[in-house]
């Protein structure tokens, strides 16, 4: 996947980036870019934070970090969100994106 249009920010404690979520999908997956955001499908519905929790679990699995190291910075009630992954550097981040 060509992720070079992705808007991500590097901070001393990790990486933050935009996602666009499609809830109630058949599976959890990154399916491409939507503008400057990663387009992510999650199987969970957008009810009582289930899709948000599914996003956190999905990114924790994808980047092989604990769920406690994933934060939903903004967009709790929106399909457009900002995710922060703490404790990874830009090289780790881009290496994993290159494998998608």
CB 93 within 8 A of CB 69: no
pLDDT of residue 3: 80
In angstroms, rounded to a whole number, what is the distance separating the alpha carbons of residues 55 and 2? 21
pLDDT of residue 71: 97
Sign of the four-CA dihedral 33, 38, 44, 49: negative
Domain presence at residue 96: no
CATH (domain of 83): 3.30.1200.10
Q: Whole-structure pTM over 0.85, yes or no? A: yes
pLDDT of residue 4: 81
Taking only the tens place, the pLDDT of each residue in 49-78 is: 999 999 999 999 999 999 999 999 999 999
Average pLDDT over residues 13-36: 95
Strand partners, 9: 16
Query: How confident is the prediction for the chain on average, in pLDDT?
Result: 94
DSSP 3-state assignment of 49?
coil
Does 88 score more than 90 pLDDT? yes
Number of domains in the chain: 1
Domain presence at residue 73: yes
pLDDT confidence bin for 2, thresholds 50/70/90:
confident
In angstroms, rounded to a whole number, what is the distance separating the alpha carbons of residues 33 and 4? 9
Domain containing residue 24: 8-91
Domain presence at residue 48: yes
Domain presence at residue 54: yes
Average pLDDT over residues 2-13: 89
């Amino acid at each position: 996947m060509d992720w070079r249009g992705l808007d991500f920010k590097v901070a001393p404690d990790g990486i933050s980036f935009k996602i666009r979520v499609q809830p109630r999908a058949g599976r959890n997956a990154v399916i491409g870019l939507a503008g400057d955001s990663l387009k992510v499908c999650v199987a969970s519905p957008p009810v009582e934070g289930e899709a948000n929790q599914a996003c956190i679990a999905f990114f924790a699995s994808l980047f092989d970090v604990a769920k406690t190291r994933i934060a939903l910075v903004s967009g709790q009630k929106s399909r457009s969100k900002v995710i922060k992954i703490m404790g990874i550097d830009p090289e780790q981040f881009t290496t994993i994106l290159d494998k998608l």
